[in-house]
Structure 1
């Protein structure tokens, strides 16, 4: 005996119809979240919005947490598609600013989704879209590092960028509308840029040869490596510095 979900318009009993039903349920839940907030996303409300019987939801998701994880993935995917559609600035620090602005704008435009994503930090963090977003962020950071303008190591830079973007969005959303000054967002973005980048390249000559020469010059002043390690690293740096 078929359920209403099996016989809804555009569906088939095959895998394609099942996927369409799943997508409809996720989009219905995402719509309820956006319009009415987290508490509105109930089994009964989602089923009514998606045009399926409530039991149909649990043929696609183990429980409501599973559905909310799918909504998080849906939101991340939309965000990544937006980021990919924006041209990449030539300057890597300007690219960082643009990416930060996009993340903040997405949060401000989707407050309920953002609160769910970052008020429950574990939700969706192992999803394909989230991993794609992290790869894009690390790509931006590597561009800055390759230009010799990264002030801190890459993991710390990523943490600072995330923390300032999340803090900016959640702080903005917590303020009364008449207390929301756009200067707050600009100040937080520029504080982030100052914390993770330098105004001038640490190494003037582009490429590994220039970086190797700079590190080779600083090597005698460090005490972390043993004498044998310093000697071996010195040989490697000499070979890189000569590769011009």
Structure 2
């Protein structure tokens, strides 16, 4: 095992075992049997080490997302994605709090990859006419809600003792993001924004469908405005 890998493995174990998720570089160096210069050479500083710990720990979770096959129903994939996200947080509370800590000035690479995977599934939903809003806005809504629920469950277990709250929030957010299975009320409330989101997704996949760069940018702006209009 390389020195870097040994330091990373030790740091991940200490984070998991820590009462509050915090660790010191001195403790890591002692447990890994390396000097401080070796740690700083490989990770730069404590923040760099913790960012690497998050990426290391989150890699297993992302590996399952990378390898899973896409089903014909992106909405079901997104439901499962929400549940697996929260389950990961509950099984790795210190790591999850660390990943979302405001003290980390540079978000770990794992956070960006997770967001890209979410957006990709939402783009598939938009292509099928199942989104009320543009994929980028839907991704922000879902990621912020998922993260909020997961953080409450791991940080305030006494208050949020019922893990079923995650499914309730998931269904509420998804109801705001996805078109209904059964028409209700005025169809225009969701059909026009959904059609705009779908056309925008399809044009992006087909690289503009013959539009010039300027025309494509203008069309994208119009469709984005229609799909995200407040209703």
Q: TM (normalized to structure 2)?
A: 0.72
> How many Å apart are 1:41 and its aligned residue?
1.5
Corresponding residue of 2:135 = 154
Is structure 2 residue 153 aligned with structure 1 residue 172? yes
> How many Å apart are 1:173 and its aligned residue?
2.0
Is structure 2 residue 130 aligned with structure 1 residue 130? no
Is structure 2 residue 33 aligned with structure 1 residue 33? no
Corresponding residue of 1:23 = 5
Contact 1:104 1:169 in 2 (8 A): yes
Contact 1:157 1:196 in 2 (8 A): yes
Contact 2:14 2:23 in 1 (8 A): yes
Note closer, same or farther for the CA distance 1:189–1:78 as it changes in structure 2 (3 Å cut).
same
Structure 2: tracts of 5 or more residues without a match? 183-189, 201-214, 220-231
CA distance in 2 between partners of 1:177 and 1:158 (Å): 29
Q: Describe how 1:1-244 pairs up with structure 2 within 5 A.
A: 20-37=2-19, 40-120=22-102, 123-125=105-107, 127=109, 129-177=110-158, 180-200=161-181
Alignment root-mean-square deviation, CA: 3.0
CA distance in 2 between partners of 1:44 and 1:211 (Å): 55
Note closer, same or farther for the CA distance 1:102–1:25 as it changes in structure 2 (3 Å cut).
same
Q: TM (normalized to structure 1)?
A: 0.68
Structure 1: tracts of 5 or more residues without a match? 1-9, 11-19, 213-228, 234-244
> How many Å apart are 1:77 and its aligned residue?
1.9
CA distance in 1 between partners of 2:44 and 2:62 (Å): 26
Task: State the Cα deviation string for residues 90-137 of structure 1 (Å, max 9, x = none).
Answer: 21110110111111111111111111111227555362x433322211
Task: State the Cα deviation string for residues 120-163 of structure 1 (Å, max 9, x = none).
Answer: 27555362x43332221111010110110101122210111111
> How many Å apart are 1:183 and its aligned residue?
2.1
> How many Å apart are 1:186 and its aligned residue?
0.9
CA distance in 2 between partners of 1:176 and 1:38 (Å): 14
Aligned length in residues: 192
Task: State the Cα deviation string for residues 146-187 of structure 1 (Å, max 9, x = none).
Answer: 110101122210111111111111111233458511321110
